[in-house]
Every structure is written in structure tokens, then in C-alpha cells.
Structure 1
Amino acid sequence: MRHSDQLQTDKDTDLTLIDLFAVLWQRRGIVMLVFVAVLMVAAALIPRLMPTYRSVAEIAFVIDREDTPIDGGGVAQHLETAMAELRGNEVLAIALSVLRGEGVQIVPAIDGSEGNEAGDNRVLGALRSRIEVVRIGNASVIEVSVTDHDAAQSQKILNAVIDSYLWQRESARKQGLRARLMETSEQLLAANAKLAQAETDLSAWQQQAGFIEPDESRLMLDRIYQLNGMLEVARRDLERARLMADARKNAQSIDALLALPPIANNETVRRLSGQYDEVRRNHAALDQRYGPKHPAMIAVHRELETVQRHLRDAVLVAAEKIALDLRDAQKQYDVIRSQRDDWQEKLTVRHEKAQGQAALLRAVELMRSEADKLGTTEQELRIALAAFQSDVTVMQAASLPETAEFPTRRDLWMAAVLVALFAAVVAGMLRHYFDQAIHDDGNLEDRFGIPLYARTPQVDDPFASAVSMEEAVGHLAVLINILAKTRVHAGRAHVSCIGSAVPGEGKSRLARDLATSFATAGMKTILLDGDLRHPAGFARVGNVSDLTAALAGDGTLEDAIQSGEDHESFDYIGARASVPGSFATGLLQNGLRDVLDHLRGRYDRIVIDTPPVLSVADAILLMGAADARLLVLRRGYSKRRDVRDAISQLNAAGLVPDGLVLAATRGRPAYGRDNADRAEDA
């Protein structure tokens, strides 16, 4: 029977939020223990977790429209290729060499792994796993980030990767330009050789013609060759002047103009620039010495503004000279070209009647045009190589992370607190589910084999009321009155003994309420506080005697009884002070029967409040002297094993409780209460 009871669990199907808080408060010991234990485990584990820092940089690409289609697909493919190159083995190997030189270690070194292919691949893989490259929106910008357990080291790794990528990409583009320049130079040499051969063939044909004088033809060709050379020089000067004019046009400030060689080499500009630097240094020295409002500073400041104004005027004058140089170069190129064209026209007219002259001249012109184009291309490639600019710009340098990534230690502590709360709640609920506490589940009679006489509501239950408490106690009083008719002789008071297994189950309150119910019903009632060790303390200080003196024979019962205030109140007898254990038991053994015999003749009902059954043997003595024995159980507080042990002790003494009273149950509306309230409102 006991084993089956232990396997049976009490399930409360009406568990509310208020009940949950009550359960957690009742199990606060295990709740706090689990909460603190989880936090202690978290305190041991969280410091071992290394935070992760992320350094971020942004790189912008200048897309070459000649090589890449204008549509978004071509740009996206170009950026994907660049992103793959940034995480490629070539860039990472260069970055790894730089990091090793700075003493940065990507992964812990393993003996024998340095320098071999497997070890290098392992390090490259670890470095690649820390790099994340994504495109920002639809722009030609990518975001590169590196994660590491050290904030400064993550920045170092990212700087090394970006610098290695920029160097590798710039080297590859320069190598491509050099290859194109070499190929164009070879093509130009071949074209010039073909042109020279064609011109030689033309000169030989003219010498063979009878109506053309060889000397005149040679002189004309020499003049044309001379003009071609002059025209090539003029063309280069014109291209150089155009480049300087474009640079002047794109310059947005005086500093940008000063960067141009024609302006920087101007004698006036160079003199004024040196004077401006000297005055500015003097101005800075005086500013540190005297401050901005000193007379010497004011004079130097004015001198600085004057020199700056003269320098600006000189720069503008030199800039205008660039435009004049462009016009002069264009004019010289046009004059030389016009002269060459005139000589060619004269030569063509002179030999227009000669057989094959037109074909030879066309061949020479085509070859010369091809040579000119190749020369222009070569010059452009040389200029592009000299003024090479990278197509990659670092928009945002590698940042130094200030905070760790999620989860930070603060996040981990918040999660640990939440887990601790959850674990504490679960532990409290499991403890409550598997506990031995008594609940109002309707199985008390079957479990203990004792009828349930009454259920009293929770005192602080918001649904409980004075009427519901009166009804519960009144119901119990009716049952006791029925027992009194069958067990008590006429003229003798009925003795009801209220006991419990352990303290705190509400027996003292039930004894007072039951005595009040008897007294209200018109019965002369006395409440006997049998707990001499811990009396309730209702005895008046002014009384001559108390229950302890009456039991010892040192005083009379009349002096020990505390009478009620009116006819609806009960009398009271109890100890004024605590009595030691063995002495209290001896008093009850020797004097209890005489006291009860005396009280039976004076009262109709005697209610005895006993100490806990499992605490002292006094309760067994008081229960044995009673006519009705009630055992109080408190819902959610009393334990099944305690109740069984208490019943076993009573059974060992030949006593059987007549009924159980379940205290602290949920409040139920009192019968007829709503009608009474409506009647009062009317």
C-alpha cells in the first residue's frame, strides 16, 4: 500500500499563475540552489570562452568599361572574380609571409609542420576560413572582414591581406601593360621595316623612269623624310601639350596645378613657392611663440597672404602658358603636316603619269598610317605605364574592433541568467511534482483509510471569505455533535482533540474556530491549549493560576480558566509560559484526567489543541483522553510520510483518528452568499 502511494503522483489540473508563484515560493530552497549552481557553472565556463573580434574594411573597384560590359551581370562577374582572387592561395601566401615577419601566428605551430606543403595548406585554410568577403548592395564595393580572438591581431591580418591583394593586382596589371607595350613595339618595328622597304621600292622605280631626274626625286624624298621626322616630333610635342592641358583642366586647386611639371618648373613659381614655404615656416614658429593676436604675427600673416596671392597669380599665369604651348604645338604640327602634304602632292603630280606610281604611293601611305597608329599606341602605353593608377581604392581602412561579436560575455551572462531561471523553475516544478505533499485531489480517504470530515479554505485566499470559513467549521461542528450523541453520557461534556503530524498545519486555528462555532451555537465551550512546551499565549497575565499550576495541583481550575467576554465566546485555559519537555509530559500524565473530569461537568464541549504528534509524546496523551480525534492536514504543506508516521504512532497507542480535516484549500463561493448580497443591495 505504501509503495503504491509513493508511486502515485498528485496532479493539480487547475494550476494557475498564482499557484505557480506559490509553488516556487514553497520550493524556494531548491529553486535558489539550482539557480546558484547554474550561475556557478556559468562563472566557471564563460571566462574560458574566448571572444571573437571582427575587423572590417571596404574596397572600391574602378570598372574598365572596355573590358567589362556595362550591364550589372558583367560588373557582378568582375567583382566575384576579384573576391575569389582576394581569398586565393597566391594572395594569402603573400599575406602569410608578411604576417610571419610581424610575428603573427594564425594557428598554433605543430612540430615538423613548418615549411612543408601540408603545414602551409593547413595554415592557408585556417587563414581563408577567417576571411569573409561580401558585396555591398549593387555598388562596385566589397566588404572584407577578418575574425580573430585578439582585436589588434584581426586588424593586422586584414591589413596584410588587403596590402597583399593590392600589390598582387597592381603587379598583374603592370605586367599586362608591359606585355602589350612589348608586343606593340615589335609590331612598330616590323611596320617601319615594311615602310622603309616600300619607300625604297618607290625610289628605285622613280630612278628607273626616264623623265624623272634621280637627284630631284631623291631630294624630294629626303625632304619628305625630313618632314616626316619633324612631324613625328611635333606630334609627340602636341600629345604632351594635350596631356598637360587636360591635367590643367582637371586640376581643382592651386596645389594640383603646382603638381604639373610646366608650372612647377616655372622660375617665378619656383621662386614664389620657396618664399611662401619660408614665410609659412616663420608664421608657424611665431604662432607657437606669441599666438595669433601678436603684432608680429599679424604682420607675418599679412606677408603670408601677400606671398600666397602672388604665388596664385604666378601659377595662373603659368597655367595660361600651358594653353599657349598647346596652341603653338598644334600650329607647328599643322604647318609641318601641311608642308609634308604639299611635298607629297608635288611628288605625286610629278610622277602621276608614271606606271605603278599610284599603287606604290598608296602602299607607302598605308604602311605609314599603320606605323603612325602603332607609334601612337606605343606612346599611349608608355604614358599609361608611367602614370599607372590602380583600379582598386581602399575606401575604409581596416578598423580596430572595440567590442567582441555576438555572443559577448555580457550576452553569455544574460543567457546564463535566463537558463538559470528556467532550470530553477523546472527544478522547483519537478520537486513539487514528485514531492510528498498533500493535495486536495479527493484521494485522502482511500490513501489513509480515514474519512475526510471537512475542508477549510486558505486564510489569505482572495476567493475565501468569512462565510466560507464559517460553513466549513460549522459542517465539522455538526459532525462532532453527531458523534457526541453516540459516544458521550448525558451530563458529560464531549471532548474533541485537534492534532497534526508536524507544526504549521493549522490545528491551533481550527481549534479556535471550532470552539467559536460551538459557543455561537449556544454550547458552553472551553478551549484547552495542551501544548505546554509552546503555548499560544492567550492566558491573561493577571490570572492567579494557569493550566500548568492546575495540572501540578498548585492552583484551582477556577483561577486558571479565562472566561469569554460574552455568552457567544468560549472559555480558555492554557499555560502562560513554556514548560520543559519531560516536565510537561509528566504533568499531563498525572493531572490531565482530573482536569478533564472536572471540566466535563461544567461544559458542553471541550476542544483540545495538541502539540504535533511527531514532535512530542504529549499529543498521544491528549488524544487518548478525547472522545473525538481529528487530524489536520494542510494542502501543499503536509507530507504523506509524516501523516502515515503520525497515524502509525497513534495506532501503536491503540488510537485511531476519527477524521481528517484538510486545511488551506482553494476558496469556494459560500452557499447562498450571492442571494444574500443581492438582498442587502436591494
Structure 2
Amino acid sequence: MVEELSGPHVGYLGLLRRIASHWRLSLIVCVGVAAPVAVWALLFLPKSYEAVAAIFIEDPRRGSVSTLRDWMPAGDASYQQAVLRSRSLAAAVVDNLPQDSMNELIRHAMHRDYVLAGQNLIRRLLGHEPVVFSPQQRAVRELLTARVRFESLPSGEVEIRAIAYHPQVAKDLANTYIEVLQSRSRSHIRDEARATRQFIENLLAQTKANLQEAEESLAKHQRGGTLKLPERSSVEMAQLAQLESNLADIQASEEIAKRRLAGLKGGKDSAGMPGRAARQALSERLAALEAKLATLEEKYASEHPLVKSTQAEINELKTALAAPPSISPGGRSAIRLTLGPADQAAVAKQVADAEVELASLQNREDVLKQSIARLSSRLSALGAEEWETSKVLRRVETHRSLYATLSEKLGTARVQEQGEDRGLRVIDRATLPLGPNNAPAKKIILLGILLGFGLGVGVAGVIEYFNQPIETEDDVFDATGLPVLGWLPTIAGHQPTTGVEREPLNLVNGSIPDTLPVEGCRSIRTSLESLNGSRKLQSIMLASAGPKEGKSTIVLNLAWVFWELGRRLILIDADLRRPSLHRGLRCPPQPGLADMLTGNVPWPRAGQGIREGFVFLPAGSTGTAKPGVLLTVAKLRGALELLTSHADLVLFDSAPVLAVADNLILASLVDGVILVVRAGETQRHDLVRAKDLLEKAGASLLGVVLNQVSPRETRRYYGRYGDYYGSRDGNIEPWWQRCRFWANKRTGVLR
């Protein structure tokens, strides 16, 4: 049972409190880590500069009239944002950068691919070839991963933030992005407008031919005199003509939607050529690379790495253009932009919107066909002549209406093809940064502070996890299974911890009967008296695991509270190595127990009367005494029988159990042993070891007394009873008095 109770147990709330008590250590560790990091970030981190440009990407379909909106490219703003973050645009930017900017991207990289470095190391160890990127590829990776970032705002504005080690390079990066994006965006919109115009022209020519045919048929009816306006169901025939006109308009819009969806998926366009836009982009890139190669050949030899890498890229592009464009099983062209996950999601949304639009047009077409069929069935009762006349008139009106609509939209498409790009607007071009960018240094300093704080808390946590002090009654019971006989709070006052005036002693003020320390001592006395009813307790020894835990203070104060009941009491200082009770009682240290055990001084002369019925037996002449020789079973048993015959209660102070084994024999002879534990100081494992030693020696353990209980625990247990116990005397002090005492203690001014 005892082994189970003394097993490992962690009170995590208490652990957190103890970690917080190491705030000085945590602060020192935090400063020790953060200070060098901050010095390095401020003095040795290469200065970087940030240039900012702003563009506005507007969906051209937003806010347009329905006639214009139906025939404009869908989701153009999403397309431009996808292109903005694409690898192909970054490659085009690298191709158009000045040579100085290109050199910085290659020679002074901000991005370090540690994963690739580790993989290459493994490949070298295995005898494989490492992965090596060309200067062009390295520049593109550097641009995408470390140099440029985009911040999109809900209003459609996009900030292009470029970072470089030189102000001019940062400016060139941001402005080159704008120039290349403008070129690509304008080319894309014009290509879309050109394709739309060509498709509308084809539809318009076909509609014009159909209109001419219908008008010729109408003229024949008029020349033959067979044209006669129907006299019945004129309203239904007018509705039928309107429905057929709407159906023709919807069918034309459906053809446009199909073409747009095929373009988004990378399939064939209206001319039947697969991947035309992608192939045109490759052609433009091939022309740019050939111009770049010509410039490089003027400066470098043919074996130069830049010349060789550029020539290799040109060969790859020529191979791709020479091969027939392949369509993937999902309908996407094999030649397409390299997009990230977010950009792919934007393109997928455009495809979904186009599919929804196409499905809506098909549903409207089905509804119109059903309405036309119903009206046609109603008009089936007309005569053949009337029906033919109405049919010719409807065809003419339908083709005229469609021809007018297509003519209007053809004019709109021509205006869009010749006009400027309205989807992309430059708000601000990048200018030279006025000063270095402090964001990287601030980020590194913040990371250093967080690392130092975490390390400081971690060190304190590790220390306290393995250093588990006893703090509460529950901790005592969990560790030993022994009952807590009582506890004493921290008694206000300053006592030296070293020298001849070291602790003890803090005497409770017995003249004030309602203080917490006094009531704590009386509570311990009451617990012992309740045990005295079940077994005889005439001799009691107070022990502790280590020094400075307060057993001398406890035994001295217990002697006072037992004496006030009228008990005949003998208080004995059995710590022959470091006696201390004589200082608390202001008595000479000898003669005493050592003289009595050696036989040099008899009992009556060795004791010193303190009060009537209260005799104190100090340690005696300990200079030449050997505790291991004096504290034998025979001598102690004889002395104990003699002393108990002259008193109702004999109290022994003793040496620390784990420090010396002097008093283990005495512990086996007395009626009971009380373990004194200093709250927040005595370690759990020390208390368990002391208990085991005493039990192996044959001691009868009565329980545990908690000494120096913290003010926090005192307030937790007895704060609500402060008035009852007389907080006016300072045992449960207000917070401002505690703060003043702490400040006085720090400054050395004690009042």
C-alpha cells in the first residue's frame, strides 16, 4: 500500500506554479538566447530592400450591360490572378530582367532548399548524380519562393512586393512583373476578343444567307398573290414568332458558351486547332529566348553555362512546338501554364461556372422548344395556305431579329479587340526604397525571443519535473500515506540563515491567543492527544529528512503549547552535531545530554529549568563527543527511562535522518516519531527515503507536520476565516503589506 502511494505522481497545477517561481531563471535564459540573436539580426544580417507596386485587376464582366457581358471572356480577373502566381510568368520575368538583377537572383539567393541539399547528399553517397538546376531555373525558383509575394485585397487590388539586397533590383523585380503581366493580359484579352469576333462574323454571314433566302421566299409569295395574312390566331402566331426568335438567340449564345468551355478545358477552339493560346505563348517565349541567346553569344563563348542553358531551353521549346498538341484524357491540353494549388482552384471555378452557364442555356432551349411545340399544335387547325403564310413571315422576322442582334454584338467585339486592356490597371509602379526593410530582422528577433522564452520555460519545467517538492497535505499523503497532524504558516519576520544566529527560531506569540501560528501549534497538540487515547505517548521525537526544515522550531513551539496545559515537560536537544534549541530559549548550551550520557553530570544538574514544570536538556559538551559512541541502545534506553519518570511528556529534537544516522536508535526507542516537512522545499523522494529509514529502524511514525506553508496556501485554506483568527496581527496580511515587506526585504530595510 505504501509503495503504491509513494509511486510517481505529478500535480500539474503545482508544477506550473513552481515553474512560474523560476521566472528569474527563465528570464536569464530568454535574454541569453534572444540577445545574441538580436545582435546578429541587427548587425550582421544582410540588409534587404522592399519595393511595392500596386495593380488593380477588375473582372470586365462586372457592371457591364447584358449584351456586352454575354460575349466577353468569363473570369478574366481570375485568369490574371492565376497567371500572376504561375511559374511561366516568373520565367518570363526572369527573361526580361536586367543583367544585374539576374546576377543577384543567381549569386545571392535568399532561399535555401535544405530538403534538396539532403537528397543530393544521399544521392552522392549512393553514387548517383545529384539534381542540378540551370541558372534560369534557379532564378525562377528564387523568384517564386523568396523574392516576390502578392497580397490580394477584396477590392481587386493586388500589391506586388519584391525583396532584394539592392534597391534597384527590388524596383526592377516589381516593375518587370507589371510589364510582363500587362503584355500577357493584353494579348490574352485580344486573342479572346478576336476569336469571339470571328465566330460572330461566321454566325452573322450564315444568318444573312438565311435571311436572304427567307426574304426571297416571301417575295415569291407576294408575286404569286398567294400571300394572305391569317385571320385567326394572330396572337398565337405573334407569340410563336417571338419564341422562335428567342430560341435562335439562345442557340447562338449556347455555341459561344461551348467554345468558351472548350477553351478553358484546353480543348479545340472554334477553328478546330487544339491549344492555340498555349502554343502562341510558347512561340512568344521562343522568340524572347532566341533574342536573349543572341545577346549572350556577343558577350560569352559558346561553352559558357548561360549560353548552354539558354540553348537547351530553346531546343526544348522547338521540340514542343514541332510535336502535335496532345489532349489529356480529362480534356486539358498538354501545353498549359504551371499553376499552384490556389491557381488551379481558381481555374476549376471558372470551368464550373462555364458549365453551369451552358447547362442553364440548354435548359432554356428545352423550355422554348416545348413552348413552340405547344403553340404549333394549337395552330395546326389553320389551313395549309394560312399556315404556310405564317411560317414564311415568322422565318423572316426571326432572321431579321437575330441579324440585328449579331450586328450589334459584332460591333462590341470589334471595339473590345481594338481597345485597351480594361481588366488590368496599374495603380502605382515601384519606386526605389527609401531605406532597408526591417521586417526580416524583426521576424528573426521575435523568433529569438520566442525560442529563448520556450527554452527558459522548458529548462524550468525539466528542473521542476524532476525536483518535486512537497507543498500540500495531499502531496504528503500521496508520497507517504501518513496523516498530516497539522501545519504552520510562514511566520513574518527576518531570520538569518547562516552563522550562529541561523534558524531557529521563530517563536509563536503565545500572548496573543487567536493567531494562526498559535492555533496551528494547538492543532498539532490536539492531534497528538487524540492519538494518546489509543496508545501511550510519553516520549516523542521530531525528525526531518534534511536540515533547515524547521523541526527545531516545531519542537520548541510544541513544548510551549503542551506546557500551557500544565503538563510536566522535558525538552531535549538530541542533535549532538548542530544543536540549536539553546539559542531559542536563551540558555547556555552545556551541560546537557552528552554530559549525562558520558556520566560526567547527573540528570538533575544537566537539566535547566525554564518554567515551573518545564525543563530543558541541551545537547551538552559536543566538542569531543562522538554521537555514534554516545547514542547507543543501552545508554539511550536508560536515559529515556530516567527522563520519562520525571515528566508527563518528553520531546526530542534530532539530527536530519538522511544526513546522519545518529538518532535512528533513539527513534526506535521513543513512543512515536513526527516527520517535519518544509512546504515547497522538502523533496518527495527525500521524504520517502526518510520514512523508509525510520520504518526499517523500527520507529513508530505518528504523522507529518507541514512547516512554512506558503501564504498562498494559507489564504486558500483559511483566507475566509481571517477575521476570526485576527488578521489584524499580520498573519494574514493584506496584499499591500506583503508587497511592502517584500520590498523592504529586497532593499535591506526591515521594520
What is the TM-score with the length of structure 2 in the denominator? 0.45
Report the structure number with the largest CA radius of gyration: 1
What is the TM-score with the length of structure 1 in the denominator? 0.49
